[in-house]
Amino acid sequence: MFEFIFTLAEIVGNWQTFKKMGREGWESIVPFYNIYVLFETLYGNGWLFLTLLIPFYGIYVYFKLWIDVAAGFNKSTGFGVGLALLQPIFICLVGFSSEYVWKDGSTPYQEDFIDNIFGKNNNQ
């Protein structure tokens, strides 16, 4: 039961995080594609996710990915390490509290069908 709650929290947190990054929420729940989308959003080339498969270097890339995600939400490097190690907890903190800021200073929030169902408009 505890695993189910953590998994559900991670899915919801990822969904919100992707929306705040200007992507569709459903992209966060598709295995492998979600990592591709993260690399595409952060680095401009989604195929860089294949660097995660390189022994030892993949560990560095994994931590760098989550530190860069944290930096996009104006969080510290320590928060990025927390995202890498305790993702279900930290992704919820990011998804429900912070705004993603592009390098040019804009905030790309993407509405989806869940916002339309509940009548939420977080574009303020």
Flag the least confident range among 17-21, 70-74, 102-106: 102-106
- Asked if pLDDT for residue 49 goes beyond 60, the answer is yes
The CA radius of gyration of the chain, in Å to the nearest whole number, is 14
pLDDT value at position 14?
93
Q: Where are the domains of the chain?
A: 2-118
Provide the 10 A C-beta neighbour count for residue 91. Answer: 24
User: Average pLDDT, stretch 28-32?
Assistant: 94
pLDDT value at position 82?
95
Cα–Cα distance, 30 to 28 (Å, whole number): 6
pLDDT value at position 98?
74
